[in-house]
Amino acid sequence: MTTIQVQGTVAAGFETVRAEFATTAVAEGAGPAGAQLVVYVHGRQVVDLWFGDEVTGETLTGVYSSTKGAAAIVMAMLVQDAILDLDEPVAAGWPEFSAAGKGEITLRDVLTHRSGVIGVDGGFTADELADDAVIAARLATQRPYWKPGSAIGYGAFTEFAILGEVVRRSTGRSLQDIFDQRVRIPYALDLYLGLPESEEHRYREIEPGILSPDELATYWSGGPGPHSITGIGYGLNSNPPLDQVALSNTRRVRALGPTSCGGVGNARGLAGLYTAAVHGLNGRPPLLKPDTLGEFTMLHAAGTDLVAGSDKHYMLGFQAKGWQYPFLSARTFGHDGSAGSEAFADPHSGITFGYIRRRFSSTWSYPEHHRLAAAVHHAASAT
């Protein structure tokens, strides 16, 4: 019999969240690999929990696409500062990008997964995926996989590399550097787009799902091939196909912190990020003003995602979480990551949520997200 030892604290009224965290973790088999959950309500921390053999509240691991939430907040800040214009073509400051029918793609198109630039013919090497600048250079010559604007599809490794290049050319600094200077350091967030060597001791490796390589091959065999839009979007059209587990476990990826997938952090960092964005944190003001928040949390794209193959709802750079958690408000925004991290804010209820796990699901699905979010919502509504 497995005993899960949940550690940490919850505020009065949030005991049910602690129970759900324990139950869910067992049920989902995150097991000894561990997980963390941190929740704020209107800027007050109400949940700070963790479990796992090697995990504490301070443990860091790979957050994968939850990184995009941090990058999207930086984009929002640069738009807020009028440094970037959402309706400007990407190619305006980056002429090479206009090749192969990409001249009219705007920042807004990229942020809403409408660009069609979801990969490259022949695929990216694992080495290339560590470095946004290299990704951007390869994307510049690529023809979109659909007529820009005509459809939506999630470019798992491409969109924030494009935006990062725009940021670099507009500001002379990397998106990662801006995040560090304007967000991570002043708000004291445990979330890194580029993990310093000095923090490496807190990193715990991402673990694979329980499927064997053979089972994984079977999982994919009936579905889209490596050169389908799905395969290209998820980096399966390279040789060898992308190993997502290895990605975060590679020091070079962690050091460079690519904005699409290379962030390292913990649940405190993720929940803190969204708290800082909406409510402010540590005595500092909210990163985003109401109008910026309004624009970035407006739904922009709804429908079949050509890469994911299912219905998706996107805001500017964020996933529209109200469609995933319909008990939350229409303005709920956030981003999850493929190993099971999840982070969001609901400006209406005041909930900000950060969750991390170290082990991939074998099916890329994490039902505990819904149950945890529901438990938090229920507790927050009652208090």
Which residue ranges make up the site for a copy of itself (CB under 8 A)?
100-101, 112, 116, 121, 143-147, 150-151, 223-225, 227-230, 232, 291, 294-295, 298-304, 306, 311, 322, 326-330, 348-349
Residue number with CB closer to a copy of itself (100 or 246): 100
**CB 241 to a copy of itself: min, Å:** 15
Q: Is 253 left (phi over 0), alpha (psi -120 to 50) or beta?
A: alpha
CA 243, distance to chain mean position in Å, is: 18
Cβ within 8 Å of residue 190, ≥6 positions away: 58, 60, 265, 266, 268, 269, 272
- Kindly state the tokens that stand for 57: 């509240």
> 304: how many CB neighbours lie within 10 A of its CB?
12
The CA distances from residue 111 to 2, 117, 216, in Å, are 43, 11, 31
* Buried/exposed 221-230: b ≥16 CB within 10 Å, e otherwise: eeebebebbb
**CB 330 to a copy of itself: min, Å:** 5
Hey, is 292 helix, strand or coil? Answer: helix
**CB 271 to a copy of itself: min, Å:** 21
> 284: how many CB neighbours lie within 10 A of its CB?
11
Residue number with CB closer to a copy of itself (9 or 304): 304
Residue number with CB closer to a copy of itself (112 or 361): 112
Residue number with CB closer to a copy of itself (202 or 227): 227
Residue number with CB closer to a copy of itself (129 or 328): 328
**CB 143 to a copy of itself: min, Å:** 5
Return d(Cα 100, Cα 122) in angstroms, integer. 16
Return d(Cα 76, Cα 70) in angstroms, integer. 10
Residue number with CB closer to a copy of itself (102 or 359): 102
Residue number with CB closer to a copy of itself (263 or 322): 322
Report yes or no: 291 and 86 within 8 Å, Cβ to Cβ: no
**CB 230 to a copy of itself: min, Å:** 8
Residue number with CB closer to a copy of itself (157 or 179): 157
* Buried/exposed 247-274: b ≥16 CB within 10 Å, e otherwise: bbbbeebbbbbbbbbbbbbbbbbbbbbb
**CB 381 to a copy of itself: min, Å:** 10
> 191: how many CB neighbours lie within 10 A of its CB?
29
DSSP labels, 90-125:
GGGS-GGGGGGGTTT-BHHHHHTT-S-----TT---
Report yes or no: 360 and 206 within 8 Å, Cβ to Cβ: yes
**CB 264 to a copy of itself: min, Å:** 32
Residue number with CB closer to a copy of itself (51 or 318): 318
**CB 245 to a copy of itself: min, Å:** 24
